Structure 1
Amino acid sequence: MASPSQASRARPAHPNLAFRRLRGSRSPGEFATAVRKAAREIGEHVSCDARYIGRVEAGEIRCPNYAYERVFLHMFPGLTLTDLGFTARENVRGRGRLTAAGAPGAGRPAPPSQPCCPFDGGRSRNDSDIDSDIDEESDVLRRAFMTSGSATVAAASLGLGFASGSVPAQRRVGEAEVAAVEDAVRRIRLLDDRHGADGLYRQAAQPLRAAYALLDAGTWSRRSTSDRLHAGAGELAVSVGWLAHDSGRFDDARSHYAEALATARVAGDPALEAHAFCNTSFLARDAGRYREAVRTAQAGRHAARQVGSPRLLSLLALREAGGWAGLGDRTDCEQSLARAHTYFEQGPAPDDPEWMSFFAEPELQALQAQCWAALGDFARAARHARRAAMLQDHRFTRNLALYRAELAGDLARAGAPDEAAAVGEQVLQLLGDVRSSRIRTMLADTARVLVPHRRAEGVAAFLNHHAATSHSA
Structure 2
Amino acid sequence: MPESPHPPELPVRLLTDPEMIEACRLRDFARVFRMVKKHAGIYPSMIARRCDLTPSRVGEVMSDRRRLLHMDVVERISDGLRIPGHMLGLSSRAWESPPAPYATDREPSSRRTELAPVGSVPTHDVEDTLASVACASPSTLTAQALRSSIEDYWRRDDEHGGEALRPAVVGQLRYVESLLTQCRGGGVRRELLGVAAELSRLTGWTYFDARQFSQARLYFGQALGFAKDVDDRQFMANVLACMSLQATYQDRPTDALALAAAAQDHARASGTPRVLSMLSMREAFAHATLGSRSGAHAAIGEAHRQFERISESDSDPSWVMYFDEHKLTVDTGIAHAQLGEAGVAEPLMAQALHPERSTNQRGRAFHAIWLARTQLQRGKLEQACHTAVNALTPASVVTSERVTGHLREFSLQLTPYRAEPAAVAFDSQLRQVVPSGVSGSTLP
* TM-score, length-scaled by structure 1: 0.61
**Alignment match, 2:347:** 383
How far has the Cα of 1:210 moved from its partner? 2.0
Residue 193 of structure 2 corresponds to which residue in structure 1? 230
Q: What's 1:408 paired with? A: 372
Q: 320-329 vs 169-178, which deviates more?
A: 169-178
Gap runs ≥5 in structure 2 = 1-120, 438-444
Candidates 262, 286, 307, aligned match of 1:323:
286
Q: Are residues 181 and 404 of structure 1, via their aligned partners in 2, closer, same or farther at CA, if it must alter by over 3 Å?
A: same
SS in structure 2 of the partner of residue 248 of structure 1: coil
Does the C-alpha gap of structure 1 residues 266 and 168 become closer, same or farther in structure 2, counting only changes over 3 Å? farther
- CA deviation after TM superposition for structure 1 residue 444, in Å: 1.5
CA distance in 2, matches of 1:274, 1:360: 18
| Cross-structure match for 1:270 | 233
Distance 1:385 1:197, change over 3 A: farther
Give the unaligned 5+ runs of structure 1: 1-155
Q: Find the counterpart in structure 2 of residue 434 from structure 1.
A: 398
Give yes or no for contact 1:411–1:419 (8 Å, CA) kept in 2.
Answer: yes
Counterpart for residue 399 of structure 1: 363
**Is 1:201 matched with 2:166?**
yes
Q: Is the 8 A contact 1:234 1:263 kept in 2?
A: yes
Question: 1:229: Cα distance to partner?
Answer: 0.9
Q: Is residue 184–residue 207 contact of structure 1 (8 Å, CA) maintained in 2?
A: no
The residue type paired with residue 144 of structure 2 is A
| Greater mean deviation of Cα atoms: 394-403 or 183-192 | 394-403
- AA paired with 1:467? R
Query: Is residue 2:152 matched to residue 1:187?
Result: yes
1:450 counterpart (408, 414, 421): 414
In the aligned structure 2, how far is the partner of 1:383 from the partner of 1:194? 26
CA apart distance, 1:455 = 4.0
Which of 200, 207, 213 matches 1:250? 213
- The residue aligned with 2:273 is 310
- Structure that is richer in helix per residue: 2
Structure 1, residues 310-369: CA drift from partner, whole Å, max 9, x if none?
Answer: 010001011111111111111111111110000011124531110112111222122222
Q: How far did 1:385 drift?
A: 2.2
Q: Sequence identity, in percent?
A: 25
Q: Which residue type is aligned with residue 390 of structure 2?
A: Q
Q: Which residue of 2 aligns with 1:469?
A: 433
Higher relative contact order (CA closer than 8 Å, sequence separation 6+) = 2
Aligned residue type for 1:453: Y
Q: Distance in 1 between matches of 2:428 and 2:299?
A: 40
CA contact (8 A) 1:321 1:332 kept: yes
The TM-score, its normalising length taken from structure 2, stands at: 0.65
1:13-162 equivalences under 5 Å are 161-162=126-127
Give the counterpart of 1:295 among 258, 278, 283: 258
The two structures, once aligned, show a CA RMSD in angstroms of: 2.7
Q: Does residue 173 of structure 1 match 2:138? A: yes
Q: CA–CA distance in 2 between the matches of 1:181 and 1:437?
A: 28
Question: 2:361 touches 2:395 (CA, 8 Å); kept in 1?
Answer: no
Aligned residues: 314
How many Å separate the matches in 2 of 1:397 and 1:178?
A: 29
Residue in 2 that maps onto 1:422 = 386
Summarize the Cα distance change of 1:417–1:201 in structure 2 as closer, same or farther, 3 Å threshold.
farther
Task: Compute the displacement of 1:202 (Å).
Answer: 3.7
Q: List structure 1 segments (4+ residues) > 4 angstroms apart after TM superposition.
A: 164-171
Deviation at 1:260, TM superposition (A): 0.8
In the other structure, the counterpart of 1:260 is: 223
Structure 1 residue 400: Cα displacement: 1.4
Judge conservation of contact 2:371–2:384 (CA < 8 Å) in 1.
yes
Structure 1, 258-267 or 383-392: larger mean CA deviation: 383-392
The code of the aligned residue for 2:258 comes to R
